[in-house]
Structure 1
């Protein structure tokens, strides 16, 4: 009779979270640099807390919120406030030769995710 060998595969400890801020959802890991909508009055080096966590994965434990998880805070470090590339909108009416040009630059904040 042949012997049965058992293999144990160690899964790396996965840490993931889905957070919501500025009306958008982001899949984040510790150490990720994300661009979020402008956060009011940030100061360099300040800690930013994201309270709206929809999903939290720590190793083999998965927590799913309905819609949000209570008591979970994702910490991040505020890095910089920047402006995105300019988006231009041009309207032209051929018969009257009328043109109108608009431009917009969205302000966003860069945050590095520190800890769950």
Structure 2
């Protein structure tokens, strides 16, 4: 069984045991798990439920594994013959979670 959850404006397809990266959020220091209650779709085959916009009573539980920053992305701006070159780097922060339970 799988589910499609909405988080930070993006829809993510998840199944139990999957590890995903999501946008960071304010969490208490001792937080060990997260619950996603915006489930857009869940099930498989005949037992599938489609939300309008969300499936009532459905939730997805996840265990927090780590908080970190992704690999560096280099952004280069360049204009030929104008001696114009700019280089910047960016590392996107993330929270890595493991899906433990799909209920509903």
Name the counterpart of 1:48: 34
Name the counterpart of 2:6: 20
1:1-116 equivalences in 2 (<5 Å):
15-41=1-27, 43=29, 46-57=32-43, 60-116=46-102
Larger Rg: 1
* 19-28 vs 86-95, which moves further: 86-95
Aligned length, in residue pairs = 102
Query: TM-score by structure 1 length?
Result: 0.77
Report if the CA contact (8 A) 1:45-1:79 is conserved.
no
- RMSD over aligned Cα atoms: 2.0
User: Greater RCO between the two (CA within 8 Å, min separation 6)?
Assistant: 2
Query: TM-score by structure 2 length?
Result: 0.85
Q: Aligned-pair distance for 1:41?
A: 2.3
Mark the runs of 5 or more structure 1 residues left unpaired by the alignment: 1-14
Deviations 1:13-40 (A, max 9, x none): xx21110112111111111111111132
* 102-111 vs 59-68, which moves further: 59-68
Mark the runs of 5 or more structure 2 residues left unpaired by the alignment: none
